[in-house]
Amino acid sequence: MQFNFLISKCMSVNENGMTILNGSQQRNPQLDEVITTMGEASAKAQNLKQVITSPTRFYQTDQKLYIKSEGKHCLGILKVGKKNLFHRDLNGLVREIQPLCVLDFYVHESMQRRGIGKELFEEMLRCEIIYPEKLAYDRPSPKLLGFLKKHYHLSNYIPQNNNFVIFSQYFENRQLIVNQQLASQNSQSQYSSTPSKIEQLGTLMSQMSIQSTQSKNQQQQQSKSQAPWATDQKSQQNMYETTTGLMSAQIQKKR
């Protein structure tokens, strides 16, 4: 959405083109124009009966408005705030919760499918120090539901009368799940390392066998390389000892 002035002239914009406004923000006509125009465009895109983001519905609240801009163009907005909600589970149990809620999320049509929405959403998660499954979503559009499923694998929820979507992971302990995943990965890593140790042992035994074979070959070669007379002398010595033994035995018999 293009305006007749630089967005940075009416609000503080960081190096990434991001602005974070809160309800106590000092108002000015240009800032009001940006909020009004983007709020109306968002309501129209989502086929809402009334505008949910406007200066009068934003100021003097505890809500925050994340804005992505570039020069004179406002690319998208994301509004969050806490709400008291009642949630009913499949067993009919009702519990009261106070989650941080995504109240409005809009990227201008000319800037969609360029990662602007993901950039806005990630900036909000970083600043609010929260996981996407720990948020509640006010009347999310099919595009937003598809966005959450694609990027954060969120899809399971129980429809509520208040039209807020709270995913089942909201009630789970994320740290416990992460620890279980890490434990599972470590177990798989140890299991996968066992074959490698066996392979190392097999390699070592193979090397020992090769060395033993080489040693035997060397001994055989040394034996072949000995002079013939050395072998003959040994044979003669054996024959002499055998003959001497036989003669001694015959002499003893004669006695």
Residue list, annotated binding site = 105-118, 141-150
d(CA 123, CA 11): 17
Residue 83 contacts residue 106 (beta carbons within 8 Å): no
Q: Residues annotated as binding site for acetyl-CoA? A: 105-118, 141-150
Per 3-state DSSP, the chain is made up of helix, strand and coil in percentages (nearest 5) of: 55, 20, 30
Identify each DSSP E strand in 164-231 by its residue range: 164-165
The token pair at 115 is 């990662």
Q: Are strands 94-97 and 164-165 parallel, antiparallel or unpaired?
A: unpaired
Beta-carbon contacts of residue 39 (< 8 Å; ≥ 6 apart) = 51, 52, 53, 54, 77, 104
The token pair at 174 is 């994320």
The Cβ-side half-sphere exposure at 82, using a 13 Å CA radius, reads 8
